[in-house]
Amino acid sequence: MDLSLILPVVLLVALLIYAVSIYNRLVALKNRFQNAFAQIEVQLKRRHDLIPNLVETARAYMAHERETLSAVTEARNAAEVGLKHAAADPGNAAAMAELAGAEGALGSALGRLNVVMEAYPDLKASENMQQLSETLTSTENRVAFARQAFNDAVMQYNTYKQSFPPVILAASFGHKQDAALLEFEDSAEIQAAPRVSF
């Protein structure tokens, strides 16, 4: 057996195994951030499903506030569309920006609803409204935790993809674009625990 032939073959096999390990790590990290987005999707869907119940409960008490209730419903529908687009391609910068904008508008509409509700003491005292409020607050916390986990997974993926030597092979393995973080416009408010009062 000729040593001059064995050494290049061993080196080639080692390089091939290393390239396969880079590919597998990129796939694993991409799957991790996509799964983390799926957790955000579950929590946002839960939030979106609570809002019609909140609006319907408030509607009985707030007959003169149709405009506010309509704004909440429209913002919720826009957030649903943004979520569908983001779920189709988690990590896509445009989809993440659309989702962040829609969720920001929904949060703003819910904030206006909260202000209007202050004028209705019977509504604030309603047991159903208190349960909805508590569930919505819990869901907001879950969204924040899920978003943090998603952003952490995206950061790991991007860091590995941009490091050497994966940066050389990533594009040829189908990992051309960096994944985008999900950052809401009101990030200062998001850092604080959500507060909903009825």
DSSP assignment letter at 163: S
Please say whether the beta carbons of 45 and 83 come within 8 A.
Answer: yes
Give the CATH superfamily of 3-183.
LemA-like domain (1.20.1440.20)
Q: What is the pLDDT of residue 173?
A: 92
In this prediction, residue 35 carries a pLDDT of 95
CA distance 178 to 181: 10
For residue 100, the model assigns a pLDDT of 92
Nearest to 153 by CA among 4, 1, 22, 28: 28
Burial category of 170 from C-beta neighbours within 10 Å (exposed 0-12, middle 13-18, buried 19 and up): buried
pLDDT one digit per residue (tens) for the chain, 198 residues: 677 888 899 999 999 999 999 999 999 999 999 999 999 999 999 999 999 988 888 887 776 778 888 899 999 999 999 999 999 998 899 999 999 999 999 989 988 888 888 777 777 777 888 888 888 889 989 999 999 999 999 999 999 999 999 999 999 999 999 999 988 765 445 444 445 554
Q: What is the pLDDT of residue 162?
A: 93
pLDDT at residue number 1: 62
**Domain residue extents for the chain:** 3-183
Cα radius of gyration rounded to whole Å, the chain? 24
Q: What is the maximum span of the chain, computed from C-alpha positions, in angstroms?
A: 92
- Per-residue exposure over 8-39, b if at least 16 CB sit within 10 Å of its own CB, e if not: eeeeeeeeeeebeebbeebeebbebbbebbeb
Rounded CA separation 28/14 (Å):
21
Residue 161: which of 176, 142, 151 has the closest Cα? 176
45 contacts: CB under 8 Å, gap ≥ 6? 83
Q: Give the integer Cα–Cα distance in Å for 150 and 180.
A: 10
Q: Is 193 exposed, middle or buried (0-12, 13-18, 19+ CB in 10 A)?
A: exposed
Q: First and final CA of the chain: distance in angstroms? A: 83
